[in-house]
Structure 1
Amino acid sequence: MKNIIQKTIGYVAAAAILFSFNACEQSEVAPEAGLAAQGVQEAHQTKSMNLDQTYTVQLTELNGSGVSGMATIELTGDMLNVYLQASGLTPNMEHMQHIHGFVTTNQNSVCPPMSADTNGDGLISLVEGIPFYGSVLVPLTPYPTADAMRMVDFMNSYAITKAARPLQNNVIVLHGMYVNGVYDPTIPVACGQLKVANQGKGSR
């Protein structure tokens, strides 16, 4: 019964976060940090949509999953090219992956510590991680299925809005592993902060 309740709560939470992503996309509110004047903020947002930048992500395990990996994100204007490799995932199962962040505040996303486990069950659920990494800003679809070697090798491109800016405020979270014999597709298994690799110097 505990597993069924946990799985149900996880699916509801995932749906709520995906709904919040759609709302963010419509509002196109940018979490611009360190800009006090509204005019300066708007100018920066407009300019930032034309920047070329590269970001790297070091993915480390959550919930004792053993998952690790690396991602490279290339930003060109309003397009993202995402290259992600991860190992230690549950084989032959789909793994959700998202860029998470905060839209209505200047708060930076971080990977949740074990203290995020507020119900004391020894695991950080998707919902328990939200205060640390925020809602879904960019779902990295189509979600990959890990191969028999427990690996994914993923690449895709996405159009993004100002809601995901600045990207270095955000994290990537991977989801999905067995909990008490039941596969939970929502539980976080790896997380990593987006870090600027080229300090805004594009290849143009």
Structure 2
Amino acid sequence: MKFRLLGLAAIVTASTFAASGAAVAAHDTNPSAKVASYSYGLTAVQAASVPGSAAEGSTRITSLPNGKVRVQVEAWGLAPGLPHAMHLHGVDGPAKDMACPGPAADADGDGYVSVSEGAPFYGGILASLTTSGPTDAGHALDLAHFATADADGHLKYSRTFTNESALANADTVQVVVHGIDVNGSGTYDLAGAGEAPLVPGSGVPFEATMPVLCGGVAN
């Protein structure tokens, strides 16, 4: 299944970033003067009452001396057999540590934290963590190029790529994993939670865009 929603990146990037203050980063000891490596835990975004939202994981972001970035993600408890959109979120520019949203970010009270409700916390999309092809924000929901969880809901991802925004902000980004099969149908469908509240009439299931895990410098 392939959903490509170019409007996703535009909406998230245009969001007003409400997070205040900068977190103090407790980074790993870097292996050399030319390699910077940052490791974080990934925790659930949605309320425990949301079916299929109980997941956990970890991530490592490494800036390499050749100007590339390596991102590794491992997660458990994800919707099995389904692709999961993943991104580096943050603010492209002067260093600013963002944060991860929790259930309280559900501003409209529909029971789910949406992409637009999470954006004020973790910022816009700096890179799409695709398995192949482009890593820009325009491929934010190109599900055919994201990692798929196995039958047990386990996902393991690693890719080294060139992305100037990711490289410049590697020490302040948040890693966000999307996709929850709310109704347990084995696919992302409109019956689970309706249409994604991004672009009315898009036909994209909310389940496919729903943030499930987040983690990074401010957490």
TM-score (norm 1): 0.68
1:80 aligns with 2:69: yes
Q: How much does 1:67 deviate?
A: 1.1
Q: Which has the higher strand share?
A: 1
- Structure 2 equivalent of residue 61 of structure 1: 44
- For residue 141 of structure 1, give the secondary structure of its aligned residue in structure 2: coil
- Structure 1 equivalent of residue 182 of structure 2: 179
Q: How much does 1:109 deviate?
A: 1.6
Q: Which has the higher helix share?
A: 1
The structure with the largest alpha-carbon Rg is 1
- Structure 2 equivalent of residue 201 of structure 1: none
Percent same amino acid among aligned pairs?
Answer: 30
Select 2:153's aligned residue among 109, 127, 150: 150
How far apart, CA to CA, are the structure 1 residues paired with 2:120 and 2:12?
15
Q: How much does 1:76 deviate?
A: 0.7
Counting matched residue pairs gives 159
- The gaps in structure 2 that reach 5 residues or longer are 14-21, 23-32, 132-145, 184-190, 193-204
How far apart, CA to CA, are the structure 2 residues paired with 1:154 and 1:16?
25
Q: 1:164 to 1:82 in 2, by over 3 A?
A: closer
The C-alpha deviation readout for 1:143-202, integer Å capped at 9, x for no partner, is 11110011011111111215652322210000000235526110000000148xxxxxxx
Runs of 4+ in structure 1 over 6 Å off: none
1:120 aligns with 2:109: yes
- The gaps in structure 1 that reach 5 residues or longer are 1-10, 23-32, 34-49, 196-204
- Aligned residue type for 1:111: C
TM-score (norm 2): 0.64
How far apart, CA to CA, are the structure 2 residues paired with 1:163 and 1:82?
10
Superposed, 1:17-36 pairs within 5 Å as 17-19=8-10
